[in-house]
Structure 1
Amino acid sequence: MSDQRAVPTEAPHRDARHGGHLYMQTNETRNAIVHYVRSADGMLTEAERVPTGGAGSGEFKPISGQESAPNAFEGAGSVILSPDRRFLFATNGGDNSVSSFAVADDGRLTSLDYKPTGNPVTGRSGTAKSLAYAPTTGTLYVLHAFGPDHLRLMSVDNDGRLAVRLERYSVNLPDKPHRVATMVTLSPDERFTLVGTTFDQPPTANPDGSAILWVRGPDGAPKSIASNEPDPDGLAVFPVTGDGTLGAPTFHDGGGGSPFFISFLHGRPDTFVVGQAVGDGIVMGTIAPDGGIQIGPLVTIDTSAGKPSELCWLSVSPDDSKVFATNFGYSNISSYHLDGMRPTIAKDPACPRVPGDGTFRALNGTVSSGPSDSWLTPDGAYLYQIYGNAAKLVGYAVQPDGSLEEITSVGIPYNSPQGLAGV
């Protein structure tokens, strides 16, 4: 396997002053990657749509069983680029598979491979949804929302072809046999794999389609199904061995309700930020050489519009000075200053809310456009945000004070799209 792994090579030269490229998956039942050319002034032009060969879930949301809703899999990182920018990988949640593509110097994609993850699909859709890639071992980590086999592994050879491996790992606990995982992240030194969680059991839906966050406990008292609330065990940490396989996980306090999104800082490889979907804010954390986790205080946004805000996706600025947090329930974005281990609010909100078509309600009951994945350009100048229920991808110019000025918008498929990656 080591002879066939993907070895990093010199990345094609792309000057940020001349723009770049952005990739999003449609998650339609015939899934495809949309490739946008990004101009130097932040404008987007669709260049191509390349079929993945796999199936998305379409408008159907398998997490809750809703017929049509944004954020199908309650996850992040479904489209990623290898660090050398040679390959693009994407999940196909509908049929539990992964597709790989070669990335040309001009950003165009060539399909290389398609492989099932090894998890069978039960019901209308699978839930493969998040990816992390270790170039040293050529290992791709594929996370599914539903277990028990949340994590499956694939090997990537030097030509970008995929091979399914037998290893499988769970983030379930004895008293939580049906957890819903959200995102897999690899530490910069490739020594640990971190997995965030949303729910300790799958949610059910109210008549209006919103999810129910409470169940009756053994004593008859209401109990939240949000992970890490109240049990401080919502963040799973797996040690990575020399061949990319994982050791036994340890479970840690994620810092708030539903530790959804995990992003390591660019200049501090032992430091990360976690977005709390039910905790309504962010925390900063550090990971020690032995895998020990330390979590700082939770810093929340204004929740007067209703709880939870479903603050989920994060984009960290290249200089680690700011983080932009997407509020799924509020249909907008908030920004933070990062300094030491205690973030402070920069702009809340950082942009006006983007309305949807009025058909979708978030957990707090507000009508939402369901914003999900975001991506920040390598120079920190532009942020791009999916608004699935509004059927558009919005581009913002980042202002010095952390506010966002809308500069462009392109139409995307209704409710289904997810995943953003770019150069």
Structure 2
Amino acid sequence: MNRPVSSNLISIALVLCLFGAFRVDARASDPVGHVYMQTNETKNRIMHFGRDADGQLELRESIPTGGAGSGIFKPISGQESAPNAFEGAGSVILAESNTLLFATNGGDNSVTSFRVSPDGELSMIDRQSTGEPVIGRTGTAKSLAYRSQSRTLYVLHAFGPNHLRSYTVAKDGKLKPRPERHSVNTAKKTDRVSSQVVLSPDGGFLLVDILFDAHPTANPDGSRNLAVANAADRDGLVIFPVRDDGTLDEASFADAGGAGPFYMAFLNRSRDTFLNGVAAGDGVLVSRIDGKGRVTNGPLISIDTSPGRPSELCWLQVTSDNSLVLATNFGYGTVSTYRLVEGQLSVLKDPANNAIPGDGTFRAVNGLVSSGPSDSWLTPDDQYFCQIFGNASVLVSYHLDKTSGRLTEIGRTPIPYNSPQGLAGF
């Protein structure tokens, strides 16, 4: 028996409406980019956020690394709960044209590799120990650098004596630990604390910033005794020549340009020029490395430190045209922007954002209550900037005005309390 024409039309209309709705929803949810952050929880995982065209972030998946983070415990200071557990940078990186993602597991001194699909989804490939034993409550593996020419992945530990270990990365993304081990200690400084490892763009040199010349200790009044690197002795930058097979030659020690060097970023399309953010020097400088590994430094340009010192200026992001630098101030809960013109830095907007308050429980070295911002990431088109605020439990998205240097908040995404580390994206 034939159904009435009107009934058939209604059914077809409903199908078309539903099909159309699904298509609209799919288009609305399709991200233009992807951002990855490790939680650094005791059961570590990677939070994968989709980035919309307007800069907003939305959690798409949360994938276990199979390894352990330190949780809210901060091994460098011994604090039971504090943001930026390892006082480092670059614990999550992308490689091989954004098809591989690597993440440290600081709690158990291991590294996990993931395959990144064309739509940004992650699948775990491998997890391997760095080869360094965990001494005490947690390990300190915290910073990564990848050399594509030799498929070598370097992992830096905050504590030594073997600060640097490495892997050979197979084409399928599996990790093969290498036997080499290297220290950033000197004959007289046998307890140094490093912050970040970076490769020069040509893969010829591996650079390491040193934050402390000895492990922090507690004074009788409860304050911290900090042996800040590069303050008295100008040897806070360690430079390893890299051989063709990825092995490292003997290190040399250079002036990092300021006290407490923390974060390096090579300028885009430059083989020899990089920026260094110094935590106790409260500023940024331009440095150059020549073909023999010798470094020369420009002047240190500091931000306003009237709220208190140090500002703990640490993480840096550089715009694609090298015209602006964004510097995160851990001690203030703010970001400052610099103008960079013909190799000369000047402060543009300080601060560039409204300070993000934490929960009031964390105080920086300067004694100020801070939300403890740490790793950051800038979109390739320079429009949007993402910043972790661990003590506020949020990942904040901003729009960047390149003319004024101002950051305008556009969204907040919940993240775990105090523990998160590392940001990478495409």
Q: What TM-score do you get using the length of structure 2 for normalisation?
A: 0.91
Query: For 1:155, what is the secondary structure of its paired residue?
Result: strand
Rounded to whole Å, the distance in 1 between the matches of 2:148 and 2:222 is 41
What are the equivalent positions in structure 2 for 1:2-17 lying under 5 Å apart?
Answer: none
Shift in Å at residue 204 of structure 1?
A: 2.1
Q: How does 1:129-208 map to 2 (within 5 A)?
A: 129-205=142-218
- 1 or 2, which has the higher helix percentage? 2
Q: Do structure 1's residue 404 and structure 2's residue 414 form an aligned pair?
A: no
When residues 210 and 160 of structure 1 are mapped into structure 2, their CA distance, relative to the original with a 3 A threshold, is farther
Residue aligning to 1:347: 349
Q: Residue 414 in 1 paired to residue 408 in 2?
A: no
Within the alignment, does 1:363 sit opposite 2:365 as a pair?
yes
Change in Cα spacing, 1:390 to 1:207, as seen in structure 2 (3 Å) is farther
Deviation at 1:401, TM superposition (A): 1.3
> Residues of 1 paired with 2:39 and 2:354: CA distance?
25
Mapped partners of 1:305, 1:206: distance in 2: 23
CA distance in 2 between partners of 1:205 and 1:394 (Å): 33
Q: 1:358 to 1:205 in 2, by over 3 A?
A: farther
Aligned counterparts of 2:310 and 2:232: Cα–Cα separation in 1: 15
Note if contact 1:285-1:341 (Cα within 8 Å) is conserved in structure 2. Answer: no
Letter in 1 for 2:416: P
- Quote the offset at 1:144 in angstroms: 0.1
- Distance between the aligned counterparts of 1:364 and 1:273, measured in 2? 24
Q: Please tell me whether the aligned partners of residues 212 and 363 of structure 1 are also in contact (alpha carbons under 8 angstroms).
A: no
Q: What is the one-letter code of the residue matched to 1:135?
A: S
Is this contact kept in 1: 2:201–2:270, CA < 8 A?
A: no
Task: Write the distance in 1 (CA, Å) between the matches of 2:79 and 2:116.
Answer: 35
Q: Distance in 2 between matches of 1:75 and 1:85?
A: 22
- In structure 1, the partner of 2:84 is 71
Counterpart AA for 2:252:
T
Partner AA of 1:257 in structure 2: A
SS at match of 1:244: coil
2:269 pairs with 1:272: no
Q: Pick one of 141, 144, 159 that aligns with 1:128.
A: 141
Q: Are the aligned partners of 1:19 and 1:41 in contact in 2 as well (CA < 8 Å)?
A: no
Which of residues 371, 374, 391 is equivalent to 1:372?
374
* Alignment RMSD: 1.2
CA offset at residue 207 of structure 1? Answer: 8.2
* Cα distance change of structure 1 residues 408 and 210 upon mapping to structure 2, 3 Å threshold: farther
Q: 1:107 to 1:137 in 2, by over 3 A?
A: same
2: CA distance between counterparts of 1:378 and 1:86?
Answer: 17
Question: Residue 212 of structure 1: CA displacement?
Answer: 2.7
Q: In the TM superposition, what is the alpha-carbon distance from 1:208 to its structure 2 partner?
A: 8.9
Q: Deviations over 1:188-241 (max 9, x none)?
A: 00000000010001112468976332xxxxxxxxxxx10000110000000000
Deviation string 1:128-158 (CA, Å, 9 cap, x unpaired) is 0000000110000000000010000111000
CA shift for structure 1 position 346: 0.8
Residues 210/40 of structure 1: CA separation in 2 closer, same or farther (3 Å cut)? farther
Q: Could you tell me which residue of structure 1 aligns to residue 48 of structure 2?
A: 35
Question: Does the 8 A contact of 1:239 with 1:291 survive in 2?
Answer: yes
Cα distance change on mapping 1:101 and 1:208 into 2, 3 Å: farther
Once the two structures are superposed, the pairs formed by residues 222-371 of structure 1 within 5 Å of their partners are: 225-371=227-373
- Checking the alignment, whether the CA contact within 8 Å between 1:23 and 1:33 is kept in structure 2 is yes
Q: Which consecutive segments of 4 or more residues in structure 1 shift more than 6 A?
A: none
Q: 3-state DSSP class of the match of 2:179?
A: strand
Mark the CA change 1:29 to 1:209 in structure 2 (over 3 Å): closer, same or farther. farther
What SS does the aligned partner of 1:169 have? coil
Name the SS of the counterpart of 1:343 in structure 2.
strand
Matched residue SS, 2:240? strand
Could you say what secondary structure the match of 2:189 adopts?
A: coil
Distance 1:210 1:109 in 2: 42
Contact 1:394 1:408 in 2 (8 A): yes
Q: CA deviation at 1:109?
A: 0.1
Aligned residue in 2 for 1:89: 102
Q: Secondary structure at the match of 2:341?
A: coil
Q: 2:31, 2:44 → 1: CA distance? A: 30
Give 1:268 shift: 1.9
Q: Which structure has the bigger radius of gyration?
A: 2
Percent identity between matched residues is 59
1:370 shift after superposition: 0.4
Alignment-derived partner of residue 387 in structure 1: 389
Contact preservation (8 Å) 2:287, 2:298: yes
Q: Deviations over 1:60-100 (max 9, x none)?
A: 00011100000000100000000411100000000000000
Counterpart of 2:262 in 1: which secondary structure?
A: strand
The count of aligned residue pairs is 396
Secondary structure of the structure 2 residue equivalent to 1:143: strand
SS at match of 1:337: strand
Distance 2:371 2:195 in 1: 20
Quote the Cα distance in structure 1 between the aligned partners of 2:221 and 2:247.
43
CA shift, 1:48, in A, is 0.3
The answer to whether the Cα contact below 8 Å between 1:208 and 1:361 also exists between their aligned partners in 2 is no
Partner AA of 2:199 in structure 1: L
Q: Please state whether the residue corresponding to 1:389 is helix, strand or coil.
A: helix
- TM-superposed deviation, 1:110: 0.2
Residues 209/380 of structure 1: CA separation in 2 closer, same or farther (3 Å cut): farther
Distance 1:261 1:124, change over 3 A: same
Confirm or deny: 8 A CA contact 1:267 1:319 kept in the other structure.
Answer: no
